[in-house]
Amino acid sequence: MKILLIRPANPLQSLGLLPHTKPTNLAYLAAYLLEHGFKVKIVDYEIDVYTESYFIELLKREAPDVVGISCITSVIRSGAMMSNVVKSLFPEIVTVVGGAHASALPKQTLREFPSFDYLVYGEGEESLLELCRCIEEGNPIIDVEGLAYRDGAEIIQNPKRNLIEDLDTIPFPARFLLSNKKQKGYSSKGFSNKLNSADLFTARGCSYGCTFCAIQSVFCKRVRFRDLKFVKKELDQLMRDEGVEHIVIADDTFSLDESRAMAICGIFLEAGLRSWNCETRVDKVSKRLLKMMAESGCRKVTFGIESGSQRIRNLINKGFSSQEIEQAVCWAKEVGIEHVEGNFIIGVDPSETSGDIDMTRNMICSLPWTIVSVAVVVPFPGTALYRQMKAKSFLHKDADWNDFEMFGKTPKWHTENFSEKDLIMLQRKLTKEFFLRPSYLLKRLLAFKSWSDMVSWFLAGHAYLQWYFKIRSKGKVL
């Protein structure tokens, strides 16, 4: 049986503002299906240009039995549009939707988008495999855990499937099915997209439960770690067979276990990996660990800060202190990590005030960040924030799933103290205050080590200016 797995296009990729991560989630699903005898193809419309005529030709040529579409919230309509094409022309093909949005709203998604036959929620490998086996063998699907489906006019949601306890039973991602075309933008902010990079998961999940984070819809509040011998084996394979130079650690919090993080650094050092980067928490690093990270090739560490206000950080379940933030950032710079990135979110808690924003501005401009990312809050389905903002009627009636983007769009929601225009204005203002400081620009010019670095930063700056002036020209910012 033939399975076609699809990642719908994110229109904001054309701006070059977002990192171009490959659909490693689909590569994991594909590897699991391949191991059990199915034929699989992956189509990535973040790289390939989608046209309906080409898509129809693809369906005719590949003749899949099942089309699976993985959707985050902002592309669920694009996924449903493709599913409509499939069902209108090839009704015998089974359509399945999965991903963060489907996991957050299983029944609502099937009600809203009738072209999806089935929905897989939570971790997908075992549920999708069991569904495909039932379809192939003509068996009933009523006992498939982690599945939602229609029974006449009724939507049935089967019990949730337990997470896979041993991640090492899942084969390495079938990366050979992914496109090697280069995308506009970067694999991670601060790095040229000419660098041959790959995402590498050493764990799945996060135990912290931040109020704005949608990952809990898929993995709950649990972390499962891979055996380091398999991490090493996968790294060796990536470097040997695919010539990978740079690794993007895709874990939500890399250094949850310091001794384990140190061991991974040792693996990178022994392998001679050129460079890598990760994301973690300021209260989960020590100077000793950061030094080892730098020595093993870590060129960037990203800290999710979200707000400069202690009150706000406490409300969103990020209770680390301002002292811990300053300490971690300064340590990272002292030990020689080239890029230290801080992620901030305007309106991350609906009660945020101008005073809280002033604290964020001070933290952005007073610490030695190389890069900052200032996003506008998005109340993703499945989060505590979504439930909170919906209960308080902060979501506008005309809000569409296409609007659920952190960059590039005026939000269709507000907070207690800020309108949708205020949120965009503050995002633009804080971003400009950081990147357009003469001292920052001079420091970046003096820091360039190669022509490719300079070109990469120039293109990133150009993308930012396009976004900045596009918003202004549309008159969406006061």
99: domain CATH number? 3.40.50.2300
> Looking at the domain assignment, is residue 165 inside a domain?
no
| pLDDT of 270 strictly over 60 | yes
Averaged confidence pLDDT in the chain: 91
Whether this model's pTM surpasses 0.75: yes
> Do 211 and 140 share a structural domain?
no
Specify the pLDDT at position 475. 41
Look at 19-28, 225-234, 324-333, 352-361 and tell me which has the smallest mean pLDDT: 19-28
Vertex 439 angle, CA 436 and 444, to 5°: 80
Q: Decide if pLDDT at 478 tops 60.
A: no
Tell whether 198 and 343 lie within a shared domain. yes
pLDDT band at 439 (very low <50, low <70, confident <90, very high): confident
Backbone angles phi and psi of 325, in degrees to 5: -65, -55
Q: How far apart are CA 129 and CA 218, in angstroms?
A: 17
299 & 374 share domain:
yes
What residue numbers bound the domain in which 26 lies?
2-157
Q: What is the mean pLDDT of residues 238-263?
A: 95
Q: 132 and 225: one domain?
A: no
Question: Is residue 205 domain-shared with residue 94, that is, in the same domain?
Answer: no
> Same structural domain for residues 147 and 198?
no
Residue 173, in any domain of the structure: no
Assess whether 146 and 235 both reside in one domain: no
Confidence category of residue 337, pLDDT binned at 50, 70, 90: very high
Higher pLDDT: 82 or 196? It is 82
Whether 109 and 240 map to the same domain: the answer is no
Q: Would you give the distance in Å from CA 4 to the centre of its chain?
A: 22
Residue 105 domain flag:
yes
Q: Of 47, 435, 18, 335, which is closest to residue 189 (Cα–Cα)?
A: 18
Ranges 8-12, 112-116, 282-286, 470-474: which has the least confidence:
470-474
142 with 204, same domain: the answer is: no
Residue 164 lies in a domain: no
What pLDDT band is residue 216 in, cutting at 50, 70 and 90? confident
Number of domains in the chain: 2
Please report, for residues 184, 247, 282, 301, the alpha-carbon distance to residue 244 in angstroms, rounded to integers and kept in the order given: 19, 7, 28, 19
CATH code at 192?
A: 3.80.30.20
Average pLDDT over residues 229-258: 96
Q: How far is CA 446 from CA 277, 442, 452, in A?
A: 22, 6, 14
Same domain for 220 and 89, yes or no, is no
Q: Is residue 462 part of a domain?
A: yes
Q: 276-328: per-residue pLDDT in tens? A: 999 999 999 999 999 999 999 999 999 999 999 999 999 999 999 999 999 99
Phi, psi dihedrals of residue 334, rounded to the nearest 5°: -60, -40
210 and 356 housed in the same domain: yes
For residue 13, tell me if it sits in a domain.
Answer: yes
pLDDT number for residue 75? 95
Q: What is the DSSP string of 296-343?
A: TTEEEEEEEEE-S-HHHHHHTT----HHHHHHHHHHHHHTT-SEEEEE
Whether residue 465 lies inside any domain: the answer is: yes
Last residue of a domain, one of 157, 175, 197: 157
As a whole number, mean pLDDT of residues 129-137 equals 97
Q: Examine residue 262 and state whether it is found in any structural domain, yes or no.
A: yes
Domain termination site, one of 157, 174, 209: 157
Of 136, 157, 178, the residue at which a domain comes to its end is: 157
Instruction: Report the distance separating Cα 292 and Cα 346, nearest Å.
Output: 33
* Cα 199 to Cα 247: distance, rounded to the nearest angstrom: 6
